[in-house]
Chains A and B, each alone.
Chain A
Amino acid sequence: MAGTSSLERRAAAERPLSPHLQIYRPTLTMMMSIAHRITGFGNYFGTLLLAWWFTAAASPSAYAKFQWFAGSWIGRLILFGYTWSVIHHMLGGVRHLIWDTGRGLGPKEREWLAAANLVGSIAITLVLWIFIMLMTGGSP
């Protein structure tokens, strides 16, 4: 092993590499695939907010702290982003479930699905937050 390692390393370094992300022109389906992973990653840490919300609800002082955070501009920004991230990941997941049945993989269908994923998630998030702002008088 030790005797051949330097030879093997040189051979490995000279081997051509397959092209990676930066080589390809970005496409919508590629971006939506990456967005699905990033939103999933974000939703993972978003559950910390849920755990905080559920545990704080038992005590008035703890809930006041949570409400102060949720009402602050940074808190609202995070909650807004979390809402979009969850909805985008959910619609992206529906897309994957459609693909799992063997449907929606054609060139037209997959472009349409990718666009619908993005437009749908933004539209639903905006409608939800307009509703929230109207319901709470601007202070959730």
Chain B
Amino acid sequence: MSEPVHMRPPLARVLGRGSAKSGTEHFWRQRLTAVANIPLTIAAMAILITLLGRNQAAAAQILGSHAVSIIMILFVISITIHMRIGMAVIIEDYVHEESAKLTLLMANTFFTIAVGLTSIYGIFRLAFGL
């Protein structure tokens, strides 16, 4: 294939295509949240294990305490950002049909925001005793 002949000036061709500085945004955010996920997931797992075998009142008290609810909210925010980027990569790798791809990418954003905010809502209720 020969190079297409451009009738437009170089500036018009590069404008609107984004800054070169923003190309690694997802790459960097995936690593940033990966690092955050390590201590947050270990803490969240330890907390969830202490809930096992306890009744609802005890579970609500533990999950609603200051330190635990802050850790859990940070954990939920970090993992949902991480999993949204990860699932987008999987979709882009395997779904090539344009409308299906866009639909799944939208569903991915909706799912991660919904599951994240539902979790945070649950923690807020316990933390504020609502």
Interface positions of A (Cβ within 8 A of B): 37, 40-41, 43-44, 47-48, 50-51, 53-60, 63-64, 70, 83, 86, 90, 93-94, 96-97, 100, 128, 131-132, 135-137, 139-140
Pairs of residues from A and B, 6 with the lowest C-beta to C-beta distance, nearest first: A54-B122, A55-B122, A63-B56, A136-B53, A140-B52, A51-B118
Interface residues of B in 2-21 (CB under 8 A from A): none
Complexed CA–CA distance, A44 and B84 (Å): 8
Contact B119 A54 (CB under 8 A): yes
Contact A136 B118 (CB under 8 A): no
Contact B56 A59 (CB under 8 A): yes
Contact A51 B126 (CB under 8 A): no
Complexed CA–CA distance, A120 and B55 (Å): 32
Interface positions of B (Cβ within 8 A of A): 31, 34-35, 37-38, 41, 45, 48-49, 51-53, 55-57, 59-60, 63, 72, 76, 79-80, 83, 86-87, 90, 115-116, 118-119, 121-123, 125-126, 130
Instruction: Find A100's partner among B31, B63, B79, B121 (CB 8 Å cutoff).
Output: B31
Give the residues in chain A near B38, CB-CB below 8 Å: 90, 93-94
Complexed CA–CA distance, A58 and B126 (Å): 6
